[in-house]
């Protein structure tokens, strides 16, 4: 082809496009609905599972709450190995580690210059040790994100119970948040008891949060009321079947002034802020390591996975290092089992085996433009794994179904759905139907919210047709994932 001819074709195509563009709406993605996550909150939610490490004087005294009078030498790990913690975290599929840099006893795992109760006052490594340094280095090497738990409640600080303590606490944050690279999450515990003087502290939360954001702008701040992510109301790992990532926080504070635990578990339907749920739960009965305790079973961990990650929450699983400063073999072995089970359950997405996918609506389906039609097709939620490509309905369509059809009957018992949360959380009611052999439809699950990720446990069904029916969405439907799986490992059908 000569060059002139090519130019002619290009001109003709451009002309056609511009004519078409005039009578078609522009390629408009759905508008966000309600509050939406920040980039940091989205990246945080996509981590899905992280490891919590409770470690400190309590590891050596067997207590859950130290009273702040422990001599510093009690902290004496004989073979601290943070690379081993990181390796365990990686093998379990965790994306980050949060350490109790300072628990309620006030003991700091790093040489905090504004405290006399730290590793620097202990004999461990002749007072030269720094657990935050070793763990942050190990995380960096292993490509894990690093976060810190720094308890405002301090049963050792002499100024606790006076305004001076708030200043000391800001300096503590300054020290912990500036030396160890990026901090992906700052964990603030709501517990607020008495200090060494028998007095309680009036915390300056706005100043604490402001300090974190000033020093670590991308950190997600955890507390009962966020502002980055919220406690989900219990320590058993069970989120509400309904779980909104929205929360009202005006007039509330972490601790005694927080919303009720039931509210934290479910979120607020019309909550003004995007504050998703985080599930902190321990692999063992206690938060700190004790020889006499043992990790949860695989079945218990799988249940927790389904009631946390599977219910629109992030799982922060506590795996406490022992007195050597290592994670015990029984815990690491259990985590490998857990990872293998999840990998096996979710290896084969049976939705992708369907040979016909039909839907009652997709955005621009009535358009003449192939370009427009191709933007938001339902098949993207099934066959395409790109997070940012999704099925969306027209703005006026707030209920719709997707039907998957199979050549041969398929057997499944898990349905995984994801809303595209950069545009907010929308779905408030949905159900799942399967076709019986006689051609009639049967409902096998009725649920409410979806959010970032929802995994519905159903009975084990064998069918040639499945329908995911979104009954009620608060704006047009935007789903970026519909998956079907067969879990043959869990020994439970419902939760
Ligand atoms: C609680 C604390 O009081 C526990 O000791 C533990 O650290 C847990 C994660 O948070 O509020």
Q: What is the pLDDT of residue 367?
A: 87
Ligand 1 atom 4: residue of nearest CA: 287
The structure tokens listed for 145 are 């994100």
- The answer on pLDDT for 284 being more than 60 is yes
Candidates 287, 317, 319: which one to mutate for ligand 1, based on the most atoms within 8 Å of Cβ?
A: 287
Q: How far is CA 368 from CA 372, 393, 399, 414, in A?
A: 8, 16, 23, 37
pTM of the model: 0.94
Q: What is the CA radius of gyration of the chain?
A: 26
Mean pLDDT of 98-127: 98
Give the least confident one: 285-299, 366-380, 472-486. Answer: 366-380
Could you say which DSSP state residue 310 is in? Answer: T
Could you say which DSSP state residue 350 is in? Answer: G
Tokens 């699983």 sit on residue = 317
Closest CA to 244 of 459, 483, 454: 454
Residue 187 pLDDT grade (very low, low, confident, very high; cuts 50, 70, 90) = very high
Q: What is the pLDDT of residue 370?
A: 84
Packed helices 82-92 and 329-345: angle between N→C axes, nearest 10 degrees: 20
Give the least confident one: 58-72, 190-204, 235-249, 301-315. Answer: 190-204
CA-CA distance, 464 to 408, in Å (whole number)? 6
CA-CA distance, 470 to 447, in Å (whole number)? 10
Output the DSSP codes for 101-145. EE-TT--BSS--TT-SSBGGGSSGGGGT--HHHHHHHHHHHHT-E
Ligand 1 atom 3: residue of nearest CA: 191
Burial class (CB in 10 A: 0-12, 13-18, 19+), 437: exposed
Phi/psi of residue 272, nearest 5 degrees: -80, -20
- The answer on pLDDT for 492 being more than 50 is yes
Q: How far is CA 460 from CA 372, 412, 415, 489, 493, in A?
A: 38, 6, 11, 12, 8
The model's pLDDT over 138-149, given as tens digits with 9 standing for 90+, comes to: 999 999 999 999
The structure tokens listed for 308 are 């946390």
Cα 149 to middle of ligand 1, angstroms: 10
Cα 103 to middle of ligand 1, angstroms: 8
Whether the CB-CB separation of 135 and 99 falls below 8 Å is answered with yes
- The answer on pLDDT for 356 being more than 80 is yes
Candidates 151, 153, 191: which one to mutate for ligand 1, based on the most atoms within 8 Å of Cβ?
A: 191
- The answer on pLDDT for 25 being more than 80 is no
Whether the CB-CB separation of 90 and 140 falls below 8 Å is answered with no
CA-CA distance, 475 to 334, in Å (whole number)? 42
Q: Which atom of ligand 1 is nearest to the CA of 149?
A: 7
Output the DSSP codes for 20-85. HHHHS---PPPPP-SS---HHHHHHHHH-EEEEE--SHHHHH--SS--S-S-GGG---SS--HHHH
- The answer on pLDDT for 156 being more than 70 is yes
The model's pLDDT over 197-218, given as tens digits with 9 standing for 90+, comes to: 999 999 999 999 999 999 999 9
The model's pLDDT over 74-96, given as tens digits with 9 standing for 90+, comes to: 999 999 999 999 999 999 999 99
- The answer on pLDDT for 286 being more than 60 is yes
CA-CA distance, 483 to 478, in Å (whole number)? 15
CA-CA distance, 322 to 284, in Å (whole number)? 12
Cα 288 to middle of ligand 1, angstroms: 10
The model's pLDDT over 370-418, given as tens digits with 9 standing for 90+, comes to: 888 888 888 888 999 999 999 999 999 999 999 999 999 999 999 999 9
Q: Which atom of ligand 1 is nearest to the CA of 151?
A: 7
- The answer on pLDDT for 16 being more than 70 is no
Residue 27 pLDDT grade (very low, low, confident, very high; cuts 50, 70, 90) = low
- The answer on pLDDT for 9 being more than 90 is no
Mean pLDDT of 34-55: 98
Pocket lined around ligand 1, Cβ cut-off 6 Å: 64-65, 189, 191, 280, 287
Cis peptide before 227 (omega within 30 of 0): yes
């Amino acid at each position: 082809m000569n060059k002139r001819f090519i130019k002619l074709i290009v001109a003709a195509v451009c002309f056609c496009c511009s004519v078409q563009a005039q009578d078609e709406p522009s390629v408009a993605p759905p508008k966000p609905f309600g509050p939406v996550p920040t980039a940091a909150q989205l990246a945080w939610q996509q981590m899905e599972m992280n490891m919590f490490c409770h470690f400190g004087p309590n590891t050596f005294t067997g207590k859950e709450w130290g009273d702040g009078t422990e001599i510093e030498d009690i902290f004496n790990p004989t073979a601290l190995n943070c690379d081993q913690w990181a390796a365990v975290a990686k093998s379990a599929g965790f994306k980050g580690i949060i350490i109790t840099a300072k628990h309620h006893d006030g003991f700091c795992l790093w040489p905090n210059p504004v405290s006399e109760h730290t590793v620097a006052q202990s004999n461990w490594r002749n007072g030269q040790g720094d657990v935050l340094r070793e763990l942050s280095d190990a995380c960096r090497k292993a490509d894990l994100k690093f976060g810190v738990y720094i308890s405002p409640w301090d049963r050792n600080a002499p100024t606790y119970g006076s305004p001076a303590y708030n200043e000391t606490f800001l300096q503590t944050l300054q020290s912990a948040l500036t030396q160890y690279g990026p901090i992906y999450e700052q964990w603030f515990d709501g517990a607020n008891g008495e200090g060494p003087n028998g007095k309680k502290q009036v915390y300056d939360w706005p100043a604490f949060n402001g300090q974190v954001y000033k020093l670590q702008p991308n950190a997600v701040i955890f507390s009962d009321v966020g502002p980055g992510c919220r406690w989900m109301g219990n320590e058993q790992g069970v989120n509400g079947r309904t779980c909104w990532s929205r929360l009202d926080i005006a007039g509330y504070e972490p601790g005694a002034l927080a919303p009720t635990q039931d509210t934290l578990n479910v979120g607020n339907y019309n909550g003004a802020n995007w504050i998703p749920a985080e599930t902190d739960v321990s692999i063992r009965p206690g938060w700190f390591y004790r020889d006499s305790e043992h990790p949860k079973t695989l079945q218990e961990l799988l249940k927790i996975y389904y009631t946390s990650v599977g219910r629109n929450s992030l799982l922060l699983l506590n795996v406490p290092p022992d007195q050597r400063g290592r994670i015990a073999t029984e815990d690491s072995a259990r985590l490998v089992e857990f990872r293998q089970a999840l990998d096996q359950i979710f290896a084969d997405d049976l939705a992708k085996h369907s040979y016909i996918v039909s839907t009652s609506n997709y955005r621009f389906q009535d358009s003449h433009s192939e370009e427009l039609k191709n933007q938001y097709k339902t098949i993207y939620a099934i066959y395409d794994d790109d997070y940012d490509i999704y099925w969306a309905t027209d703005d006026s369509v707030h209920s719709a179904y997707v039907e998957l059809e199979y050549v041969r009957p398929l057997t499944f018992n898990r349905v995984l759905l994801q809303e595209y949360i950069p545009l907010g959380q929308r779905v408030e009611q949905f159900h799942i139907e399967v076709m019986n052999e006689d051609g009639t439809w049967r409902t096998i699950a009725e649920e409410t919210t979806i959010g970032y990720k929802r995994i519905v446990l159903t009975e084990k069904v064998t069918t040639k047709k499945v329908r995911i029916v979104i009954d009620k969405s608060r704006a047009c439907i935007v789903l970026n994932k519909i998956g079907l799986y067969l879990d043959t490992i869990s020994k439970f059908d419902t939760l």
